[in-house]
Amino acid sequence: MPTHLLAMLPAFLAYFAVAMGLLALFLLVYLNLTPYHEVALIRAGNSAAAVSLSGALLGFALPVANVIAHSDTLIDLVAWGAIAGVIQVLAYLAIRLTLPQLNEDIPAGRIAPAILLAIASLTVGLINAACMTY
């Protein structure tokens, strides 16, 4: 392995660990924000829960990945990661207001609202990531 790759390994590990911590924290917040239990629903084969949660995770990961690619410090990553999490929560709340039956639709396995929620999460995440370029 080239020496410069070994020299960069600690930074890689630090950024990866912080990103995984942010992802875990976002997942914890998101799962506690929604009134239904996505993990149990997914284990039971509920595709709507899987689609909506996947969209939220990817929508959060997009700006975090962009910050990793462009940031100079782990503090930047944590700060912008927190902002990305707040924005994703706001996106979820906006869709919940738009679709008042969402809290019943996801547990019932209705895929159309789940797709809209996932696409909204991805769209917001993509725009969020673009705004975090500095």
| Whether 64 contacts 81, CB under 8 Å | yes
What whole-number distance in Å separates Cα of residue 83 and Cα of residue 90? 11
68-92 residue pLDDT tens: 999 889 999 999 999 999 999 999 9
102-134 residue pLDDT tens: 999 999 999 999 999 999 999 999 999 999 876
Cα 124 to Cα 12, 22, 29, 63, 77: the distances in Å are: 27, 18, 18, 10, 18
What whole-number distance in Å separates Cα of residue 25 and Cα of residue 81? 10
Residue 33 neighbours by CB distance under 10 Å: 13
The full set of domain ranges for the chain reads 14-131
Q: Which residues contact 95 (CB under 8 A, 6 or more apart)?
A: 102, 116, 117, 120
